[in-house]
Protein backbone atom coordinates (compact mmCIF):
# COMPACT_ATOMS: atom_id res chain seq x y z
CA UNK A 1 0.00 0.00 0.00
CA UNK A 2 1.34 3.40 -0.96
CA UNK A 3 1.11 6.22 1.58
CA UNK A 4 2.50 9.71 1.84
CA UNK A 5 5.92 9.79 3.45
CA UNK A 6 6.11 13.06 5.35
CA UNK A 7 4.63 16.51 5.72
CA UNK A 8 6.71 19.03 3.77
CA UNK A 9 4.96 22.35 4.26
CA UNK A 10 1.75 24.15 5.11
CA UNK A 11 0.70 27.14 3.03
CA UNK A 12 -0.87 30.36 4.26
CA UNK A 13 -1.86 33.05 1.78
CA UNK A 14 -1.56 36.63 3.01
CA UNK A 15 -2.44 40.19 1.98
CA UNK A 16 0.72 41.83 3.33
CA UNK A 17 3.84 39.74 2.78
CA UNK A 18 6.34 41.93 4.63
CA UNK A 19 4.14 42.47 7.71
CA UNK A 20 3.57 38.73 7.95
CA UNK A 21 7.24 37.87 7.49
CA UNK A 22 8.21 40.40 10.15
CA UNK A 23 5.89 38.66 12.62
CA UNK A 24 7.12 35.13 11.87
CA UNK A 25 10.81 36.12 11.85
CA UNK A 26 10.97 38.79 14.57
CA UNK A 27 8.27 37.59 16.97
CA UNK A 28 8.41 33.80 16.56
CA UNK A 29 12.05 33.55 15.47
CA UNK A 30 11.43 31.46 12.36
CA UNK A 31 14.16 31.28 9.74
CA UNK A 32 13.59 32.06 6.08
CA UNK A 33 14.86 29.12 4.05
CA UNK A 34 14.05 30.27 0.53
CA UNK A 35 12.02 32.74 -1.51
CA UNK A 36 10.92 32.74 -5.13
CA UNK A 37 8.19 33.72 -7.55
CA UNK A 38 6.01 30.90 -8.88
CA UNK A 39 5.33 30.45 -12.60
CA UNK A 40 1.84 31.92 -12.11
CA UNK A 41 3.23 35.01 -10.35
CA UNK A 42 2.72 34.41 -6.64
CA UNK A 43 5.52 35.36 -4.27
CA UNK A 44 6.46 32.44 -2.01
CA UNK A 45 8.56 32.52 1.14
CA UNK A 46 9.39 29.37 3.10
CA UNK A 47 10.05 29.51 6.84
CA UNK A 48 10.99 26.96 9.49
CA UNK A 49 11.39 26.66 13.22
CA UNK A 50 14.92 25.85 14.35
CA UNK A 51 14.13 22.29 15.49
CA UNK A 52 11.64 21.32 12.75
CA UNK A 53 11.93 19.91 9.27
CA UNK A 54 8.45 21.00 8.14
CA UNK A 55 8.15 24.36 6.44
CA UNK A 56 5.55 27.08 6.39
CA UNK A 57 4.94 28.56 2.95
CA UNK A 58 3.77 32.16 3.01
CA UNK A 59 2.10 33.06 -0.29
CA UNK A 60 1.41 36.54 -1.56
CA UNK A 61 -0.85 36.41 -4.60
CA UNK A 62 -3.07 39.50 -4.91
CA UNK A 63 -4.60 38.22 -8.17
CA UNK A 64 -6.57 35.69 -6.08
CA UNK A 65 -8.34 38.47 -4.18
CA UNK A 66 -8.17 39.53 -0.57
CA UNK A 67 -7.51 36.94 2.14
CA UNK A 68 -10.38 36.60 4.63
CA UNK A 69 -9.38 34.25 7.47
CA UNK A 70 -12.34 32.75 9.31
CA UNK A 71 -12.12 32.54 13.10
CA UNK A 72 -11.09 29.11 14.40
CA UNK A 73 -10.53 27.77 10.88
CA UNK A 74 -6.84 26.95 11.25
CA UNK A 75 -3.80 27.59 13.37
CA UNK A 76 -0.13 26.71 13.62
CA UNK A 77 1.23 25.29 16.88
CA UNK A 78 4.79 25.78 18.09
CA UNK A 79 6.59 24.51 21.17
CA UNK A 80 8.17 27.01 23.56
CA UNK A 81 10.27 26.35 26.65
CA UNK A 82 8.28 28.63 28.94
CA UNK A 83 4.97 30.40 28.28
CA UNK A 84 5.57 33.08 30.90
CA UNK A 85 8.95 34.00 29.42
CA UNK A 86 7.56 33.96 25.89
CA UNK A 87 4.73 36.21 27.07
CA UNK A 88 7.35 38.71 28.29
CA UNK A 89 9.07 38.50 24.91
CA UNK A 90 5.74 39.24 23.19
CA UNK A 91 5.03 42.19 25.49
CA UNK A 92 8.44 43.72 24.82
CA UNK A 93 7.58 43.66 21.10
CA UNK A 94 4.08 45.11 21.53
CA UNK A 95 2.12 41.85 21.39
CA UNK A 96 0.19 39.86 23.95
CA UNK A 97 -1.53 36.54 24.21
CA UNK A 98 -5.05 36.61 22.80
CA UNK A 99 -5.98 33.60 24.98
CA UNK A 100 -4.14 32.10 27.93
CA UNK A 101 -1.77 30.97 29.08
CA UNK A 102 -3.60 27.95 30.44
CA UNK A 103 -1.60 25.48 32.53
CA UNK A 104 -2.09 21.81 33.32
CA UNK A 105 -1.20 19.95 36.50
CA UNK A 106 1.78 18.32 34.77
CA UNK A 107 3.42 21.73 34.15
CA UNK A 108 2.49 21.88 30.49
CA UNK A 109 0.29 24.55 29.02
CA UNK A 110 -0.80 26.49 26.00
CA UNK A 111 -1.61 30.01 24.85
CA UNK A 112 -2.55 31.76 21.64
CA UNK A 113 -1.32 34.90 19.91
CA UNK A 114 -2.87 36.47 16.82
CA UNK A 115 -0.66 36.68 13.76
CA UNK A 116 -1.22 39.16 10.93
CA UNK A 117 -4.09 38.42 8.56
CA UNK A 118 -6.14 36.86 11.39
CA UNK A 119 -4.27 33.57 11.58
CA UNK A 120 -3.88 32.19 15.07
CA UNK A 121 -0.67 30.81 16.57
CA UNK A 122 -0.79 28.29 19.42
CA UNK A 123 2.22 28.14 21.71
CA UNK A 124 2.66 24.97 23.75
CA UNK A 125 4.82 24.51 26.82
CA UNK A 126 5.59 20.80 27.22
CA UNK A 127 4.95 19.06 30.55
CA UNK A 128 7.73 19.02 33.08
CA UNK A 129 9.82 15.91 32.75
CA UNK A 130 10.06 13.55 35.69
CA UNK A 131 13.30 11.89 36.73
CA UNK A 132 12.41 8.68 34.89
CA UNK A 133 11.55 10.57 31.67
CA UNK A 134 14.78 12.52 31.88
CA UNK A 135 16.76 9.32 32.18
CA UNK A 136 17.70 9.74 35.82
Query: What per-residue string of b and e applies to 38-71 under the rule 16 or more CB within 10 Å gives b?
Result: eeeebebbbbebeeeeebbbbbbbeeeeebebee
Percentage of the chain modeled with pLDDT above 90: 79
Q: Model confidence at 136, in pLDDT bands (50, 70, 90)?
A: very low
Q: Are residues 39 and 73 in the same domain?
A: no
Residue 129, pLDDT > 80, answer no
pLDDT of residue 71: 80
Q: Which domain holds residue 110?
A: 69-136
Asked whether residue 85 falls in the same domain as residue 58, the answer is no
Rounded Cα distance between 115 and 119, Å, is 5
Domain count along the chain: 2
User: Whole-prediction pTM value?
Assistant: 0.87
Q: Which of 43, 65, 87 is the last residue of a domain?
A: 65
How far, CA to CA in Å, does 9 sit from each of 1, 72, 89?
A: 23, 20, 27
Cβ neighbors of 85 (< 8 A, separation 6 or more) are none
Amino acid sequence: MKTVRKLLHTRYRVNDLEQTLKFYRDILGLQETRRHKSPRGSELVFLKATESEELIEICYYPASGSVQVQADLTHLAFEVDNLDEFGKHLAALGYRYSDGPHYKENGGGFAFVDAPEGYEIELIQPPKRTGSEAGY
